[in-house]
Structure 1
Amino acid sequence: MSYSPSIFITVDAVVISKEDQHNFVLLIKRKNEPFKNQWAFPGGFVEKEELVQRACQRELKEETGLGINEKDLSFLDYYDQIGRDPRSRTITFAFTAFIDSRTEVKGDDDAAEARWFDAQHLPKLAFDHSEIIRDALHKIL
């Protein structure tokens, strides 16, 4: 019997800017299903010959226009709950980046929109991204 796992690797970029004692989080409005028109972190699937950290940089740039140096992305955690993505079995690697100010962002590629939100007033998030932001904010507080 052959073994052919159908497990996909994804990345999520948790970009946070602290201004005037407030933490702001960069989110994208998803253009496609699942969770079409819902807010999520910039991210996506890792390509076959790609390192996860570079995939995170690429997805962030493609979906928001924001370029982050590889050294400024820090590994937060991995998330592998069964059913976290209704399309297939996925394991995501979440990275954080902290920037000094909210730069202009624009939704592109798989993102209909990109916007900064006050971390205390986030919209409902797609996938398990509420858990990811909780972990990220816990890490910095």
Structure 2
Amino acid sequence: MTVDIVVLKKNHLNIELLLIKRKNEPFKDFWALPGGFVNENEDLEVAAIRELFEETRIKITKLEQLKAFGKPLRDPRNHVVSIAFLGFVKNNIEAIANDDAKDAKWFSTNKLPIVAFDHDEIINFALSKTK
């Protein structure tokens, strides 16, 4: 079980999405949503908050659970189900890559890079919920 976190912030002209560049395989050097595996006996939202902080140094206290994503082969390592979360931060929040993130960057939702796993599906679902 994993968690993936869609973090958005508004700037003057548009909405920006936080992505991390993966340091490890699978999808090494691809952009991806912050996230990772849930620890044994760990609450899902707690896991999402922890993973977001570990990878980006962004502290957030409230996330909205969106949906489970569990299509076979979404992760080449195994059949992994991910619970997606959505959070918002203030415009002046900066991300600092840490842990298994090589880089962390804000992208305009109008111009996103190719992303790892099925994160494009997760991002599109989250954005449809914010309109």
TM-score, normalised relative to structure 1: 0.90
Matches within 5 A, 1:1-141: 9-69=1-61, 72-141=62-131
CA contact 1:39–1:124 (8 Å) conserved in 2: yes
Taking the aligned partners of 2:36 and 2:30, their CA distance within structure 1 comes to 15
Taking the aligned partners of 2:109 and 2:92, their CA distance within structure 1 comes to 13
Q: Once the 2 structures are TM-superposed, how far is the Cα of residue 100 of structure 1 from its aligned partner? A: 2.4
Taking the aligned partners of 2:88 and 2:58, their CA distance within structure 1 comes to 12
Q: Unmatched 5+ residue regions in structure 1?
A: 1-8
CA contact 1:102–1:116 (8 Å) conserved in 2: no
Q: Unmatched 5+ residue regions in structure 2?
A: none
Q: Once the 2 structures are TM-superposed, how far is the Cα of residue 21 of structure 1 from its aligned partner? A: 3.9
Structure 1 counterpart SS, 2:65:
strand
Q: Tell me the equivalent position of 1:5.
A: none
Q: Point out the structure with the larger strand share.
A: 1
- The higher radius of gyration belongs to 1
Q: How many residues align?
A: 131
Taking the aligned partners of 2:70 and 2:95, their CA distance within structure 1 comes to 29
